[in-house]
Amino acid sequence: MPVSISTTASLYDRVRRVIPPIEWPAFSDDIDAILALKRERNAVILAHNYQTPEIFHCVADIVGDSLALARKAMSVEADVIVLAGVHFMAETAKLLNPGKTVLIPDLGAGCSLADSITASDVRLMRQRYPGVPVVTYVNTSAAVKAESDICCTSGNALAVVESLGTPRVIMLPDEYLARNIAAQTKIEIIAWKGHCEVHERFTPADIRELREAHPGVTVLAHPECPPEVVAEADFAGSTAAMSDYVGRHKPARVVLMTECSMSDNVAVEHPEVDFVRPCNLCPHMKRITLPNIRAALEEGRHVVTIDPDVADRARRAVERMLAV
Ligand code: 13P
Ligand code: SF4
């Protein structure tokens, strides 16, 4: 049964600062249908911070950065999990919920970091650096995680690296995250050459231009940005850490050097903060839409499966991370 018009109207109140009224009718029918389907199918929607506001604020049950989504996936009670994010996130949710149905609305929602490395690349790194532990960013396939000692996210990478008690670690596949962590620890970090296609495009010159155009602006950057960008920012952290920073410091004007939807989603929570928005779109995150979330729930697609042998080994690496 469709939800009442007043429910959808109150949802619009939440996002009216970032979604023009003219666009709302295009969303409200799918939102109604998705809210009803979630109840019928006993489903929950997990949405990453880079999802568009009509998904993030209007249909998602659990939102956050990659670390929060992995943690919260462990305590989901529903039968079905729809992952509004990219494929590696859906795989992580499946690893932590082997008995549940995990759906991703578009199988093409990939990631340039996950595509930059294969399981055999990891085996070759181990041969080249015998005995050096392998820390793998969650932005990788389950097959790559299965070859790793432990996973990390941008939110816990330093703690994970320092938890291992070794003088050297291999950190895969994001070169910039590895170099940004190397700048904060005495542990020697051996990196790979993977890059996030969204964050690698920001430059220090972008920050200087922003500071000139908006004197006093606070600049926050994601650690997938090149180290020279992070060096010029006022703060660097995961998407959740950037959001927390805005909540704690309430800067008058802020710029988030990250994916575009992030500013919209944080702006909804902080109407008093002025967001300057030079951003880069993640084409993979943007493959997830209300219509394909609705279709995922209606048709039970696309089911995420992981080979059991790979899954057991990959799960160990994710669980070891969550224990840090
Ligand atoms: P976090 O949300 O963990 O900071 O990750 C950013 C990202 O690029 C995920 O794809
Ligand atoms: Fe991958 Fe970058 Fe898109 Fe995140 S923002 S999914 S790291 S390409």
Reported as a single tens digit per residue, the pLDDT across 235-256 is: 999 999 999 999 999 999 999 9
Question: DSSP state, 294?
Answer: H
Nearest CA, atom 7, ligand 2 = 196
Query: What spacing in Å lies between the alpha carbon of 155 and ligand 1's midpoint?
Result: 9
State residue 270's pLDDT score: 96
113 Cβ below 6 A of ligand 2: yes
Query: What spacing in Å lies between the alpha carbon of 239 and ligand 1's midpoint?
Result: 6
Nearest CA, atom 6, ligand 2 = 111
Contact 55, 11 (CB under 8 A): no
Q: Please state the φ and ψ torsions of residue 50, each to the nearest 5 degrees.
A: -90, 5
Query: What spacing in Å lies between the alpha carbon of 7 and ligand 2's midpoint?
Result: 33
- Spans of the chain, pLDDT less than 70: 1-7
In our burial notation (b when 16+ CB lie closer than 10 A, e otherwise), range 277-310 reads eebbebebbbbbbbebbbbbbeeeebebebeeeb
200 Cβ below 6 A of ligand 1: no
User: Is residue 191 left, alpha or beta, with left meaning phi > 0 and alpha meaning psi from -120 to 50?
Assistant: beta
Nearest CA, atom 2, ligand 1 = 65
Q: Which residue has the tokens 């590696």?
A: 88
Q: Percent helix, strand and coil across the chain, each rounded to 5?
A: 50, 15, 35
Distance of alpha carbon 127 from alpha carbon 245, whole angstroms? 41
E strand spans, the chain? 43-48, 62-64, 80-84, 101-103, 134-137, 150-152, 168-172, 188-191, 218-221, 235-236, 253-257, 274-276
In angstroms, the Cα distances linking 31 to 25, 37, 211, 260, 295 are 10, 10, 39, 22, 12
Query: What spacing in Å lies between the alpha carbon of 268 and ligand 1's midpoint?
Result: 19
66 Cβ below 6 A of ligand 1: yes
Query: What spacing in Å lies between the alpha carbon of 13 and ligand 1's midpoint?
Result: 27
- Considering Cα of 117, then 120, then 124, then 126, what sign does the dihedral take? positive
Nearest CA, atom 2, ligand 2 = 196
Q: Which residue has the tokens 């009718």?
A: 25
52 Cβ below 6 A of ligand 1: no
* Tokens of residue 299, six digits: 């048709």
Ligand nearest to the CA of 152: 1
Residues contacting 55, CB < 8 A, separation 6+: 45, 47, 84, 288, 289, 290, 293
State residue 1's pLDDT score: 41
Contact 7, 35 (CB under 8 A): yes
What is the best residue among 176, 199, 222, 256 to mutate for testing ligand 2's pocket, by most ligand atoms within 8 Å of CB? Answer: 199
Distance of alpha carbon 92 from alpha carbon 71, whole angstroms? 10
The most distant pair of C-alpha atoms in the chain lies apart, rounded to whole Å, by 62
Residues contacting 255, CB < 8 A, separation 6+: 210, 214, 217, 218, 219, 220, 275, 276, 277, 278
In angstroms, the Cα distances linking 271 to 69, 99, 223 are 25, 41, 26
pTM score of the predicted model: 0.95
State residue 7's pLDDT score: 67
153 Cβ below 6 A of ligand 1: yes
